Amino acid sequence: MKKSNSLSVPIRIALISLVACGLLFPGVVTGIAQLAMPVQANGSLISFNNTTIGSSLIAQEFNYSGFFHPRNDSASGLDPDITVQNATLQAARIHNVTGISIAYLDGIIKENTKYTLFFFGTAYVNVLDLNINLAEHYPSIYDRYTL
Amino acid sequence: MITTSAAFIIVVEFGSVLVCGWLLSSYLLSVYSTRRTKLDRIFGPVERAIYYLGGVNPYEEMGWKAYLRAVLALNAVEAVIGFVLLLFQGSLPLNPMHAPDMSWSLSFNTALSFSSNTNLQHYNGGSALSYLSQMAVIQFLQFTSAATGLSVGIAVFRGLTGKTKGLGNFYVDYTRTLVRVLIPLSGVAALVLIFLGVPQSLNGYTIFKTLEIGGSEVVKSGPIASLVSIMQLGTNGGGYFGSNAANPLTNPSQITNLFELALMMLIPTSLPFLFGRMLGRMKEGRTIIVASYSLYFIDLVIAFIPITHLGQGMEVRFGAASSVFWTVTTTAFTTGSVNASLSAFNPLVILAALFGMIIQATPGGIGVGAMYMLMYVIMTVFIVGLMAGRTPEYLGTKINAGDVKLAIIAFLSHPIIILIPTVITFAIGAQAAAGLGTNSLSFTQILYEYTSAAANNGSDFLGSAGNTVYFNVSTGIVMWLGRFIPIAVMLAIAGNMVQRKRYASEALRTDTFAFTAVLIVAIFILAVLTFFPFLAIGPILSYLEGFKNGF
């Protein structure tokens, strides 16, 4: 019987693996994903006034002091979330700049609060969610600053 | 200190992984035996097609030398394919972002890194790689190195159980691992990850105008979920992006975080159970799972001694406890993916991470972790035999001087290929090129780099700062030595033992809790004392110097 240790066997098996694992596998997974779950597969894109403004998973930069600001020191540099503690601190600034009531700001923070351990752990909010809410509810204040 | 809620999550995670691992071990038993199963109707034709196209004779039984030759030949060819594809990626298809060709030293490092299941990355994948490279180099080698590791682990199991003539056939083990285990499991895992928000597309990166006027962001979508699934399941760890599993596109929520952790723990956890099933004596498997999980638990306790606050370098959605849990787990299973910047952590967390990589069997990487644990068992049986004045025996067979010498070679190769390059780096001042000085901090970073390379872990402090010819070449060589010296030695031990006579009575019981306790202490003493002087001037000194809030 033929022994499988000539150099042609590893070369052929490597090429088969390359096609199966490196091309077919990601290709088939991409096909299924695009057909069955296009929203997630394309990066969970989010819209404002019918315009796509990027991914809800990625932090956006905000300069106007009437917006909530993301943190810029985290591991990925793209962290879309801030702690509720941080958001509450920023609410005071936003109130001073825009005049929006603290009660309203605290309300939307509460509405959007998530926890690092599902229902306990550190409470946090997504910055973009808060800012979209502000821009939609106070167009007179934010129109000049938004897209 | 650990909070009750975090402890609860950790216990639930452990519990589910142990149950799934136990269930998987029963399936793996059928994969690696010649017993016919119902699934043969689906997988059989695929496997036969691969044997036919590959020119493999599936009935050939290999001794350890033939098995090792096949492992080395296949992995070398696969590394060369990866090297060439990276070197010329700029002019190859599926490159919508126009990633340029990689330099020779970085291609060398990357090909050796992924083919050795290490996944040390001296580049930032989000910008340095084309889609083709992410798929046909990174994912390809993540699959093949995981299949190699698992096959070798099984071959070593066969040698120690002694129920077969030889160690099996590497090409058959490798093919069945891919067809019956890794591809189906990662396929399911990838779809779950996509459902939970991880992108999977080939449409190129898109620039969007953001909410605030004048702003813009690039959404770097790509074949991410298919890569993340095998990177965790195969204990590879090399992320799609430089920021790895901290990047929200690869790990969007706490649910994906815990799912990805479970994926990396699954197969290494199932292997001790599989070993017990192959022997027909589950208690021998229990010794291994209890020893490896106890050491992992010690790592966790060390890491949770200091209070880690959610701070710089961590992602808010995971929280501090989850970041520490990940960092210890990813090194204990030698995966190396990271969900927070290592510089965010207290030196004691880094120390716990180093323990995982020094021991490599807590439970360690796919296939090889169990192999290292058996190496420790052989050494412990020998030590206990000496103390009791009896001939050392394991599983009813005598452990001779040759076996112990080989086990010692496998054990000592690890410190040698870590400590010598670490010392050389400082002796010739090569750390300066990566922007490091000569203090306990820099020492920890270089020690961590070579430990991670040798343990085929891949988590690192240096990142793209390590992209110098010196670090690319030296860590590349260390990764292959760290991978294939122990594999060669353990295959040799297994090959020597497979046909050795088995006795019914055993002088030393290895399936008792007493032996398990001795094993744990022996591993701790052997591994930790070897590295103690280096740990002392690295993370321990940093801790004592009072760097309470990270480096």
Segment 327-386 of chain B within 8 Å of chain A by CB: 338-341, 344
Please name which of B80, B57, B68 lies closest in space to residue B148, comparing C-alpha atoms.
Answer: B68
Average pLDDT, integer, range B247-276: 95
Q: Using the beta-carbon criterion (under 8 Å), do B219 and A131 form an inter-chain contact?
A: no
B189 touches chain A (CB under 8 A): no
β-pairing verdict for A114-117 and A81-83:
unpaired
pLDDT score for A147: 85
Nearest to B212 among A26, A37, A146 (CB): A146
Residue B210: its chain A contacts at CB < 8 A? 53-54, 60-61, 147
- Which chain B residue has the Cα nearest residue A130? B211
Neighbours of A95 (CB within 10 A): 17
pLDDT score for B319: 87
Q: Where are the domains of chain B?
A: 4-544
C-alpha torsion angle, residues B269, B270, B271, B274 (rounded to 10): 150
Average pLDDT, integer, range B52-73: 96
Residue B319: its chain A contacts at CB < 8 A? 116-117, 121-122
Q: Using the beta-carbon criterion (under 8 Å), do A17 and B57 form an inter-chain contact?
A: no
C-alpha distances in angstroms, B472 versus B90, B126, B283, B432?
Answer: 20, 19, 44, 15
Long-range residue pairs from A89-98, CB within 8 A, at least 24 positions apart, any chain: A93/A65, A94/A65, A94/A66, A94/A67, A94/A68, A94/A134, A97/A65, A97/A66, A98/A66, A98/A138, A98/A141
Residue B208: its chain A contacts at CB < 8 A? 45, 52-55
Range with lowest mean pLDDT among A40-44, B7-11, B85-89, B450-454: B7-11
Q: Using the beta-carbon criterion (under 8 Å), do B252 and A121 form an inter-chain contact?
A: no
Angle at B207 between CA B201 and CA B209, to 5 degrees: 130
* Model confidence band, residue B551 (pLDDT cutoffs 50, 70, 90): very low
Q: Using the beta-carbon criterion (under 8 Å), do B217 and A135 form an inter-chain contact?
A: no
**Per-residue pLDDT tens digits for B434-444:** 888 888 888 88
Average pLDDT, integer, range A50-79: 90
Q: Using the beta-carbon criterion (under 8 Å), do B254 and A116 form an inter-chain contact?
A: yes
pLDDT score for A120: 74
Q: Using the beta-carbon criterion (under 8 Å), do B53 and A12 form an inter-chain contact?
A: yes
A109 touches chain B (CB under 8 A): no
Nearest to A42 among B69, B201, B217 (CB): B201
Q: What is the ipTM of this complex?
A: 0.95
Q: Is the pLDDT of residue B506 over 60?
A: yes
Residue B340: its chain A contacts at CB < 8 A? 75
Residue B225: its chain A contacts at CB < 8 A? 29, 33, 41
Cα(B154)–Cα(B23) distance, integer angstroms: 17
**Per-residue pLDDT tens digits for B154-206:** 999 999 999 999 999 999 999 999 999 999 999 999 999 999 999 999 999 99
Asked if B380 and B518 touch (Cβ cutoff 8 Å), the reply is yes
% of chain B with per-residue pLDDT over 90: 74
Q: Using the beta-carbon criterion (under 8 Å), do B74 and A13 form an inter-chain contact?
A: yes
**Per-residue pLDDT tens digits for B391-409:** 889 999 999 999 999 999 9
Asked if B355 and B299 touch (Cβ cutoff 8 Å), the reply is yes
pLDDT score for B9: 84
What are the start-end ranges of the E strands in B214-254? 216-219
Q: Using the beta-carbon criterion (under 8 Å), do B60 and A3 form an inter-chain contact?
A: yes
Q: Using the beta-carbon criterion (under 8 Å), do B211 and A128 form an inter-chain contact?
A: yes
State chain B's mean pLDDT as an integer. Answer: 92
Residue B137: its chain A contacts at CB < 8 A? 22
Range with lowest mean pLDDT among A6-15, A89-98, B341-350: B341-350
Q: Which residues pair with B216 in a beta bridge?
A: B209
Asked if B399 and B508 touch (Cβ cutoff 8 Å), the reply is no
B524 CA: distance to closest CA in chain A (Å): 32
Please name which of B359, B304, B325 lies closest in space to residue B521, comparing C-alpha atoms.
Answer: B359
Return the residue matching tokens 């001042």. B429
pLDDT score for B227: 96
**Per-residue pLDDT tens digits for B99-153:** 999 999 999 999 999 999 999 999 988 889 999 999 999 999 999 999 999 999 9
Amino acid code (one letter) for B219 = V
Nearest to B248 among A11, A80, A122 (CB): A80
Nearest to B199 among A40, A76, A117 (CB): A40
Q: Using the beta-carbon criterion (under 8 Å), do B203 and A74 form an inter-chain contact?
A: no
Q: Using the beta-carbon criterion (under 8 Å), do A71 and B190 form an inter-chain contact?
A: no
pLDDT score for A1: 45
* Model confidence band, residue A3 (pLDDT cutoffs 50, 70, 90): low
C-alpha distances in angstroms, B456 versus A83, B201, B392, B415?
Answer: 35, 29, 31, 13
* Model confidence band, residue B547 (pLDDT cutoffs 50, 70, 90): low
Q: Using the beta-carbon criterion (under 8 Å), do B226 and A63 form an inter-chain contact?
A: no
pLDDT score for B550: 44
Segment 97-126 of chain B within 8 Å of chain A by CB: none
pLDDT score for A60: 94
Nearest to B208 among A3, A52, A83 (CB): A52
Q: Is the pLDDT of residue B508 over 50?
A: yes
Per-residue buried b or exposed e for B465-501, using 16+ beta carbons within 10 Å of the residue's own CB: ebbbebbbebbbbbbbbbbbbbbbbbbbbbbbbbeee
- Which chain B residue has the Cα nearest residue A12? B54
Residue A17: its chain B contacts at CB < 8 A? 78, 140, 143-144, 178
Nearest to A23 among B136, B206, B208 (CB): B136
Return the residue matching tokens 């002392």. B536
Range with lowest mean pLDDT among A55-64, B100-109, B228-237, B530-539: B530-539
A134 CA: distance to closest CA in chain B (Å): 11
B42, two tokens: 């689906």
pLDDT score for B1: 57
Q: Using the beta-carbon criterion (under 8 Å), do A26 and B227 form an inter-chain contact?
A: yes
pLDDT score for B190: 98
B169 CA: distance to closest CA in chain A (Å): 9
Asked if B373 and B292 touch (Cβ cutoff 8 Å), the reply is yes
Q: Is the pLDDT of residue A4 over 70?
A: no
